[in-house]
Chains A and B, each alone.
Chain A
């Protein structure tokens, strides 16, 4: 079985790379201990600082096709519990769970002494590391903290430097995605002496509006405020930002990946783009701490099946495969192939190709000859003219006339491979696994990137 034990940012040790992210699931010692019992490898405590007052309500979400909480938004602030209570509980947890990682997330006003003090308090309580919350995008940022710091590289560098003056444990800087180029703050954190980066924090959002009350969600007495968006919806944004900082020499530090991780597949993807540990919040808020079982089980089964023994074997393996567009092969060609045995005849690929792509999928298999010019409207008009009747055995002599176990040939689309640009859209919309595959066509031409072609033609950079 794969070894998931982890040493992060030099000295943070944990039995597996899965940490609860700083948030409601890591609000108190009782929760963190139950999470460790369930199998979590570490926890980033809900951000410590001067206790605040929260509002109700605090969360809102985006559902998609009845699937709940594709994205979650919150306007909850940092911990609302007294600092000494949190510190006492951190100390208690570390005593009982010495092998698990407890990271203290910190956010105080931008004064050197204030940071020095909270660093000492957290470390004295036994925290294995510190995470500087430079990312929280709501509420705290209005008070000059959170993302207000994370959006200004100079502030981030300065405060990281203050923290490093006092810290004995690794210092992680948590980055906000609410910035045009996350690498700028990542580099600043590195210049300030950070030992690692946590990315990403939540994304500014308004999740929606109640169409009866006209109040955006979450509704706080008829008003709302923008919140921080997280959950499965933000995973692609997180992956991109992690890739950006992992691939940047001036920002390169151990990365604790955050952003919509819900399954072991998500975790594997974050590791492949360079994450050393993985922080989870929304999925645990949705389904509870028990999800850790399959996160660990699935990840290790996948690693076993691929022959990876440790996380070091996996980490960053996909990074080299992310390049700038100009370095992609212009001579690589794929085309869509539809398996007529698997096709169920929904023809979503057809309508997608006609309306959303390049008009190279056709419904003409029962026509006398291929007809790439028959439009969707013509296809529909033909169906509308057809007279359908209820099959009645007594009148029609065929009691099975209504059952259609096989897809009619007329509904199995044909790909015009000459016209197909290999965009993938048809395969993406196809509801049947493995029905549409993208097959490589040998163009007979050697690798050539746009950069090479532009250089060869002596032309400048035209889009």
Chain B
């Protein structure tokens, strides 16, 4: 194990999508066709009116552009940085069908949002003092922030609870540093605070404050608790020193003083989080990072662009490789020294439509490492969710009405990863926004 200095940190985590120079932004904005009922806007879960904000960049109206973005997506700055635009707005750009590159919507959005924050982050509306009734949001991630913004626009009081010391949820703790820094995430938390939302950090709902108390003090409760810790590997040696879970690894390097990484790192899992962890390990100085995935390249759940980018970061992908045990280093009983794997063969398609991996007998081999990072998906916060009376779940996810985010218990709404099973920041924002708007309609009808 070794660590890197703070000074070195920014350099190592140079952004993968640097800001557009002002003139480049103008040129790019002018390329936009200004489609009617634009497919890019339809593809955006928050339905940002993309041509509208791009046109405003083209005319030099950067403040108007930023406000047009924020009107639809109060987390426009982080979404501009972290959205998988290839499968969302930019993937829907009609220009690809006329043999041109799609408009760089994400970077243009960032251009407008950076201007907004650089010029004082003042919105064009002033919510009045918080009026009753109040709403409680559980979790201070993107879904709750978006939900709170909707409620505050309408003047209702909001309190946001989070067990961690900082707001922003995975935007602060879980997004790869080269996409979004904690400080850029936290300025969005401050924007929501400036709207009059109250935050109770370090307060775990269920432990520090009970749901009964929330039900007593608040008209409705918005559940946006996300998912639980990374699933355990469930193989021998998983508790050895040097075996870490990806989310903890990412949260530690982003927000903790001590940054530790192995020289030879193995990452287990084929999703976007696995790739984030693998890239981070490389940037933190690991000489060799191997990512193990039990199925084939085609079946890997990570976005294609993430996979392609990760190869450029120097991550080595080993497909059809399943870890079966973590082994201790020679001469040590506590430190990881290798991952024992078995080769996999792809059989007939399973329920997901992907070919089922099956171990090849006698193909066991070891990959030396001094750090193993598990990234095989997040668990569900079942213990907490079980305390929410009348809130239904399916496969561990909270069941809601898609348009309103309302659960089977009419005083509970929910959104974000705890509902969708783990999608993107923008999906959480969209869900929070829909739920907030629905609560406003409900509150105004019943209390107005």
Interface residues of A (CB under 8 A from B): 65-66, 344-348, 350-351, 363, 376, 379-380, 383-384, 386-395, 397-399, 401-407, 411, 431-432
Query: Chain B residues near A404 (CB, 8 Å)?
Result: 39, 91-92, 96-97
Task: Please report which residues of chain B, range 42-84, place their CB below 8 angstroms from some CB of chain A when the two chains form the complex.
Answer: 42-45, 47, 58, 84
Tell which of B128-136, B190-198, B317-325, B420-428 binds the partner: B420-428
Q: Is A403 touching B91 in the complex (CB atoms < 8 A)?
A: yes
Q: Chain A residue with minimal CB distance to B421? A: A395
Tell which of B10-18, B28-36, B279-287 binds the partner: B28-36
Q: Chain A residue with minimal CB distance to B60? A: A211
Q: Chain A residue with minimal CB distance to B42? A: A383
Query: Chain A residues near B304 (CB, 8 Å)?
Result: 399
B98 within 8 A of A: yes
Q: Is A390 touching B422 in the complex (CB atoms < 8 A)?
A: no
Task: Please report which residues of chain B, range 88-117, place their CB below 8 angstroms from some CB of chain A when the two chains form the complex.
Answer: 88, 91-92, 94-98
**Given A344-B95, A387-B430, A388-B42; 20 other pairs, CB 8 A cutoff:** A66-B27, A345-B94, A346-B94, A347-B35, A348-B33, A376-B36, A380-B37, A383-B41, A387-B403, A387-B434, A392-B424, A394-B271, A394-B352, A395-B422, A397-B353, A401-B87, A404-B39, A404-B97, A405-B96, A407-B94
Q: Is B35 touching A390 in the complex (CB atoms < 8 A)?
A: no
Q: Is A389 touching B27 in the complex (CB atoms < 8 A)?
A: no
B354 within 8 A of A: yes
Task: Please report which residues of chain B, range 234-269, place their CB below 8 angstroms from some CB of chain A when the two chains form the complex.
Answer: none
Shortest distance from the beta carbon of B381 to any chain A beta carbon, whole Å:
18
Q: Is A392 touching B98 in the complex (CB atoms < 8 A)?
A: no
Q: Chain B residue with minimal CB distance to A384? A: B47
Bound-complex Cα distance A347 to B33 (A): 10
Shortest distance from the beta carbon of A90 to any chain B beta carbon, whole Å:
43
Query: Chain B residues near A398 (CB, 8 Å)?
Result: 353
Query: Chain B residues near A363 (CB, 8 Å)?
Result: 37
B211 within 8 A of A: no
Bound-complex Cα distance A403 to B94 (A): 11
B340 within 8 A of A: no
Query: Chain A residues near B430 (CB, 8 Å)?
Result: 387-389
Q: Is B97 touching A407 in the complex (CB atoms < 8 A)?
A: yes
B301 within 8 A of A: yes
Q: B37 touches which one: A347, A387, A402 (CB < 8 A)?
A: A347
Query: Chain A residues near B39 (CB, 8 Å)?
Result: 345, 404, 411
Bound-complex Cα distance A93 to B301 (A): 74
Query: Chain B residues near A399 (CB, 8 Å)?
Result: 298, 301, 304
Q: Is B45 touching A388 in the complex (CB atoms < 8 A)?
A: yes
Q: Is B26 touching A402 in the complex (CB atoms < 8 A)?
A: no
Query: Chain A residues near B434 (CB, 8 Å)?
Result: 387
Q: Chain A residue with minimal CB distance to B88? A: A390
Q: Is A402 touching B87 in the complex (CB atoms < 8 A)?
A: yes
For chain A, what secondary structure do more than half of its interface residues adopt (helix, strand, loop), or is it mixed?
Answer: loop
Q: Is B271 touching A346 in the complex (CB atoms < 8 A)?
A: no
Q: Is B30 touching A348 in the complex (CB atoms < 8 A)?
A: no
Shortest distance from the beta carbon of B318 to any chain A beta carbon, whole Å:
19
Q: Please, could you name 16 A-B residue pairs with CB atoms under 8 Å apart, sorted by A? A: A345-B97, A346-B94, A348-B35, A383-B37, A386-B42, A388-B45, A388-B430, A390-B423, A390-B427, A393-B301, A393-B302, A397-B353, A399-B304, A402-B86, A402-B92, A403-B87
Bound-complex Cα distance A398 to B352 (A): 9
Bound-complex Cα distance A223 to B377 (A): 67
Bound-complex Cα distance A433 to B426 (A): 35
Q: Is A346 touching B87 in the complex (CB atoms < 8 A)?
A: no
Q: Is A397 touching B354 in the complex (CB atoms < 8 A)?
A: yes
Scoring A387, A392, A397, A401 by chain B CB atoms within 10 A of each residue's CB, the highest score goes to A392
Q: Is B424 touching A350 in the complex (CB atoms < 8 A)?
A: no
Query: Chain A residues near B422 (CB, 8 Å)?
Result: 392, 395
Q: Is B301 touching A389 in the complex (CB atoms < 8 A)?
A: no
Given contacts A347-B37, A387-B403, A394 and B301 within 8 Å (CB-CB): yes
Q: Is A389 touching B420 in the complex (CB atoms < 8 A)?
A: yes
Shortest distance from the beta carbon of A46 to any chain B beta carbon, whole Å:
34
Shortest distance from the beta carbon of A100 to any chain B beta carbon, whole Å:
40
Q: Is B35 touching A402 in the complex (CB atoms < 8 A)?
A: no
Q: Is B33 touching A389 in the complex (CB atoms < 8 A)?
A: no
Query: Chain B residues near A432 (CB, 8 Å)?
Result: 98
Q: B84 touches which one: A346, A390, A394, A397 (CB < 8 A)?
A: A390
B402 within 8 A of A: yes
Given contacts A66-B30, A395-B422, A402-B91, A389 and B427 within 8 Å (CB-CB): yes
Given contacts A345-B97, A397-B354, A390 and B426 within 8 Å (CB-CB): yes
Query: Chain A residues near B41 (CB, 8 Å)?
Result: 383
Q: Is A389 touching B26 in the complex (CB atoms < 8 A)?
A: no
Q: Chain B residue with minimal CB distance to A352? A: B36
Q: Is A390 touching B424 in the complex (CB atoms < 8 A)?
A: yes
Q: Is A351 touching B87 in the complex (CB atoms < 8 A)?
A: no
Q: Is B44 touching A346 in the complex (CB atoms < 8 A)?
A: no
Q: Chain A residue with minimal CB distance to B92? A: A404
Bound-complex Cα distance A453 to B92 (A): 51
Task: Please report which residues of chain B, range 289-306, place their CB below 8 angstroms from some CB of chain A when the two chains form the complex.
Answer: 298, 300-304
